[in-house]
Structure 1
Amino acid sequence: MDCLCLVWALDKLHYYLYCSLFEVITDFNAVKSLHNMKNTNRHILRWQIAIREYRGNMNIAHKARNIHKNADGLSSPYSGHLSEDRTLQKVNKCAWWQSWRKEPIEHCHTCDRCQNANKSTDKKFGLLTHIQEPQSPWEAAHMDWVTALPPSGDNAYNVSLVIVDRYSKTAILVQCHNDDTSMDTALLLWSRVISLTGLFENIISVRDPKFTSALWTNLHRLFGTKLSFSTAYHPQTDGLAERIIQTLEDMIRRFFHSSTGQTPAMLEKGWNQRLPEDTLRKDLIDINPTSSSFKMMLFKVKHHEKQSINDAFDYAKQKWDKSHKLQNFKIGDLVLVSTFNFNDIKGPKRLKYSYVGPFVTFALHGINAVQLELSGELENKNPTFPVSFMKPYQPADKELFLVGTQLV
């Protein structure tokens, strides 16, 4: 076959090769001796006669297959199915059987390589769920880091620890260093935050090594504080701290928060602090109300805050659920995991598979997080993933494609 390819190529390109010196590279070593073959069949003799005129101008060189892949790809016919419609069109041109529509479509849906390679254009899984709201200030707090900041101050602080009260949306920023340990972070939290707010009942944070260390977890176990970590690749869980980070430089204490309708100081203390600009006003607000009016005002503020939070959640859920849908995975289901956040997958980044797997569902954490039994390249990663980065795996029915059918 390789000898026939050589004869065909010389016949098609003889306009460019005639009276010119050229080299033929092949991965089949026997082609080098095509001119000198003896005791051959009639096909070889006919090919020797066809290339005889190039004997003095042509040099045949051998190149191993493992380093000759560019030509090997051109000589190999492609195969595959880009979609159901194209596969059915190809099948319809050359064959027919009783279930010629059903079986190709099922084959396209259950193809292992296609399920891993094809990108998903459907709605992502996972509807918006509501984290339980606290009943008093600093009962629950969000924590996150602002890293890669330029060094500032005499101590060259380059990291800021953001602590946000989930009830009043009050934010406390603690300056620290990038190389601080979990012990340093605990001391800063105790001296700069807990000394002012008291102990938290719940801390919602990212899975930072300082927050998942044995010292940090054991310390808060003694305090009776529950540690709630966000799912990997799902920053929406700690969205309150993320939002504070995004608007850190532009946030003004006197602005109303969009979800509560009040300033943090009004919810936490019952009044707004006086600012220098207030002294320029003629109608100064009385910040020392009587005891009865203070209780009534605080009651109205809390009632308004609860209603505002419920309205804000309903609005956010409506917007979120438009682009997401519910998917109830079960323990034992096979799923594929998106490689969007994985930069250590082998192969070119541009051509890596969109999904990897399948993996078995090991445990369920609510409706938006699933724990998997990982293996292979993902064995050392956190096994809990948000459902928005997964899709069900459809195994192929092997018996369907092993049964012979008569073609017409």
Structure 2
Amino acid sequence: MEAHLVATIVFKEVFTRYGAPRVLVSDRGRNFMSKLVSALCEMFDIIRHHTSAYHPQTNATCERLNSTLEQIPRAYVNEHQQNWPSILSAAMMAIRMSPATQSTGFSPFFMLFGKEMNLPVDTSLIPKTSMGMDAQCFFEQLLQSLTVAKEIAGSNMKIAQEKSKKRHDIKAKEPTFIVGDWVLLKNMRTKKGISLKLMHKHIGPYYISGLGPNFTYRLIDCKTQIPLKDLINASRIKKYVKPEPVRLEN
């Protein structure tokens, strides 16, 4: 997917339909890092945030949804795996109408439109226009339900986040790396023809030359003195103990 296609879809399918967001989070793919996408965000006054290299947890909400979305076509795809694009629309409909029981308590569709999605079983229960329901009263009820839903969803989301944080904090430890530390970097790339199982888990050593936001670091190769282009998250590095020089005694 080229940069111009990403920019076109974001503009036509998101900005013109729902309005421009305040913040846009993406990974560090070239199509998202392009000058074209950056110019589009600058035009709409959108703040850009990028995930650190090989750390998808930064964009966990999107990655988790992608994981769910992959499972649905797997159950319905044909033996040649050629019909998966036609399944996506129905899969997205199922996701949009499903309540987020672990966070907001409401479906994404309800959070956006203030009402649940109409399904075939529901259409027969919709009041006929001949019943004379006042339009202004209807919209007032719609706005009221949307406001209440957002308040409840915000409260539910906060509770869910607090529970998640407590579970995380039980085992989590704040990184203690400082500038000048020698570290090893978790190897995330596999050369063609090389088995992942037999590769060294970490490469290096590197030394930390600078600190970034949210426990990210700038690394420089100790041998070549070439800095890495991207910030590295603390979860991918571990301390390296410099070998002591060998002393020969007569």
Band the TM-score falls in, shorter-chain normalisation: 0.7 to 0.9
Change in CA separation of 1:252 and 1:396 when aligned onto 2, cut-off 3 Å: closer
Change in CA separation of 1:346 and 1:263 when aligned onto 2, cut-off 3 Å: closer
CA distance in 2, matches of 1:183, 1:328: 41
For the aligned residue pairs, the C-alpha RMSD in angstroms reads 3.4
Change in CA separation of 1:239 and 1:380 when aligned onto 2, cut-off 3 Å: same
1:361 matched to which residue of 2? Answer: 208
2:16 matched to which residue of 1? Answer: 195
Query: 5 Å matches for 1:76-91?
Result: none
Larger C-alpha radius of gyration, 1 or 2?
Answer: 1
Query: 5 Å matches for 1:159-170?
Result: none
Change in CA separation of 1:382 and 1:305 when aligned onto 2, cut-off 3 Å: same
CA distance in 2, matches of 1:381, 1:287: 64
Q: 5+ residue gaps in structure 2? A: 73-90
Q: 5+ residue gaps in structure 1? A: 1-179
1:220 matched to which residue of 2? Answer: 41
Query: 5 Å matches for 1:92-111?
Result: none
Q: From 244, 247, 256, give the equivalent of 2:99.
A: 256
Greater percentage in helix: 2
Q: From 162, 167, 185, give the equivalent of 1:319.
A: 167
Which is bigger in relative contact order (C-alpha 8 A, separation at least 6)? 1
Change in CA separation of 1:367 and 1:190 when aligned onto 2, cut-off 3 Å: closer
Deviations 1:268-306 (A, max 9, x none): 22222322211355999x997556544543332122111
- Stretches (4+) displaced over 6 A: 345-348
Change in CA separation of 1:282 and 1:297 when aligned onto 2, cut-off 3 Å: closer
After superposing the two structures, state which structure 1 stretch, 208-217 or 219-228, moved more: 219-228
| Paired residues of 1:362 and 1:371 also in contact (CA < 8 A) | yes
| Paired residues of 1:346 and 1:352 also in contact (CA < 8 A) | no
Is residue 152 of structure 2 the alignment partner of residue 304 of structure 1?
yes
Change in CA separation of 1:205 and 1:348 when aligned onto 2, cut-off 3 Å: closer
1:267 matched to which residue of 2? Answer: 111
CA distance in 1, matches of 2:10, 2:126: 41
Q: TM-score, normalised by structure 1?
A: 0.47
Query: 5 Å matches for 1:6-405?
Result: 180-248=1-69, 249=72, 250=91, 251-257=94-100, 258-281=102-125, 289-290=137-138, 293-339=141-187, 341-344=188-191, 349-374=196-221, 382-396=229-243, 398=245, 402=247
| Paired residues of 2:217 and 2:234 also in contact (CA < 8 A) | yes
| Paired residues of 2:27 and 2:51 also in contact (CA < 8 A) | yes
